[in-house]
Amino acid sequence: MVAEILREYGLTVTEDQCAKEKTKVLKERKVTHQEHFARIFDCQAEIFRSNLDTAFEIETIPGTIIGSLQRMLSAKLDLKDGKKFTVISDKQSGLVKAIQTVILEAEHRQCSRHIMDNWKRRSHDMELQRLFWKIARSYTVGEFNGYMLELKNYNPSAYDSLLKTNPRTWSRAFFKVGSCCNDTLNNLSESFNRTIRQARRKPLLEMLEDIRRQCMVHNAKRYIIACRLKTRFTKRAHAEIEKMIVGEQACERWMARHNKHEIKHGDMIYEVDMSARTCGCIKWQMTGIPCVHVASVIIEKKEKVEDYVVDWYTERMWELTY
């Protein structure tokens, strides 16, 4: 601390002075925390007054109860048993137990980046990292098994340790279809945690106010962007659609009866059922955006790929989110 003060402020102090001031600050901080906790119910009342339909639960039971936050969210969002919902998180044991207890039917994905970092913690082999992402981003069990075999041949011990991480929770090959989300990363939570890092150092009420204002401003800005959007879908959705349209040129198509088609893409052959809106690669079912194989069929039929994209990516849905 002495060296840091000298470096940052050009002041010379003794260790004894630092120790005395630190003790003084800690005492003042403790008093401040006590005052803030005493006013937490006033804060709750003001939030309810100024923000209708807001959920603000206060627990006064000593210690933590597994699933308390998840129970509140489940009730407020009407999640029921969670059968139609997908949750993605890191491998925090308390959260895993809570989800399995409260919304036990929900799909619970683990952040693949956390899995990879823990798996290859002692290794800097970039080939292992390359193979891991191929495994994590595989849409079919066949792809998954193929890349796992490649990993086994390359490094048997790494293969054995990766199996222990339960790939069903972090590889797309085992994700439920219908969520229109193929995320394998927990970036949303990581970004949020990074933005509130400074706020978390403050006393309780100041911390809550800082976080509330950050969320308020962020939502307002995103709402303005959504309202100004002049296209049918969000920018990322349009970019993905254009990517699929360009990629369909590498496909070879054969038409069958009952609105079914056989598509060859590279060395792989996939079945596309336009009536059921399915493709053998699974990507269309998982994301809600036609894959290159489906785009090949749509373009051949002189139709628009955009007409086969789910409504979740529209400007209106983006606007309603905020």
For 221-277, give the DSSP string: HHHHHHHH--SSB-HHHHHHHHHHHHHGGGEEEEE-STTEEEEEETTEEEEEETTTT
**What are the φ and ψ backbone dihedral angles of 251, each rounded to 5 degrees?**
-100, 150
Q: Which residue reads 């529209």 in tokens?
A: 314
Long-range CB contacts (< 8 A, 24+ apart) of 142-151? 143/173, 144/171, 144/173, 144/174
Residue 203 confidence (pLDDT): 83
Kindly report, residue by residue over 232-275, the tens digit of the pLDDT.
999 999 999 999 999 999 999 999 999 999 999 999 999 999 99
The model carries a pTM of 0.79
Residue 72 confidence (pLDDT): 64
Residue 108 confidence (pLDDT): 87
Q: What percent of the chain has pLDDT over 70?
A: 91
CA distance 246 to 253: 15
CA distance 32 to 185: 38
Q: How far is CA 242 from the centre of its chain?
A: 24
Residue 218 confidence (pLDDT): 92
Q: How far is CA 315 from the centre of its chain?
A: 21
Question: Per-domain residue ranges for the chain?
Answer: 2-38, 113-183, 196-228, 235-321
Report yes or no: 111 and 170 within 8 Å, Cβ to Cβ: yes
Mean pLDDT of 168-189: 90
Alpha carbon separation from 44 to 7, 39, 134, 211 (Å, rounded)? 43, 9, 47, 14
Residue 85 confidence (pLDDT): 85
pLDDT greater at residue 293 or residue 70: 293
CA distance 102 to 79: 10
Alpha carbon separation from 124 to 116, 119, 121 (Å, rounded)? 12, 11, 8
CA distance 125 to 138: 21
Mean pLDDT of 34-49: 85
pLDDT band, very low/low/confident/very high, at 3 (cuts 50, 70, 90):
confident
Average the pLDDT over each of 1-15, 133-147, 232-246, 301-315 and give the range with the smallest value. 1-15
Residue 293 confidence (pLDDT): 96
The yes-or-no verdict on residue 25 having pLDDT over 80 is: no
Q: In the 8-state DSSP scheme, what is residue 63?
A: S
Report yes or no: 171 and 111 within 8 Å, Cβ to Cβ: no
Residue 69 confidence (pLDDT): 61
Residue 31 confidence (pLDDT): 63
Residue 93 confidence (pLDDT): 67
The yes-or-no verdict on residue 150 having pLDDT over 80 is: yes
- With a CB cutoff of 8 Å and minimum separation 6, the contacts of 266 are 250
Residue 135 confidence (pLDDT): 96
**What are the φ and ψ backbone dihedral angles of 192, each rounded to 5 degrees?**
-65, -45
CA distance 134 to 151: 10
- With a CB cutoff of 8 Å and minimum separation 6, the contacts of 306 are 232, 233, 241
Q: What are the strands, taking DSSP E only, across the chain?
A: 86-89, 107-110, 251-255, 260-265, 268-273, 278-279
Mean pLDDT of 149-154: 96
Kindly report, residue by residue over 61-116, the tens digit of the pLDDT.
665 555 566 666 666 667 777 778 888 887 666 777 777 777 878 888 999 999 99
CA distance 271 to 254: 10
Residue 70 confidence (pLDDT): 62
Kindly report, residue by residue over 300-315, the tens digit of the pLDDT.
999 999 999 999 999 9
**What are the φ and ψ backbone dihedral angles of 280, each rounded to 5 degrees?**
-65, -20
What mean pLDDT is reported for the chain?
A: 87
The yes-or-no verdict on residue 212 having pLDDT over 70 is: yes
Residue 65 confidence (pLDDT): 58
Mean pLDDT of 125-143: 94
Residue 187 confidence (pLDDT): 85
Residue 193 confidence (pLDDT): 87
Kindly report, residue by residue over 187-206, the tens digit of the pLDDT.
888 888 888 988 888 888 88
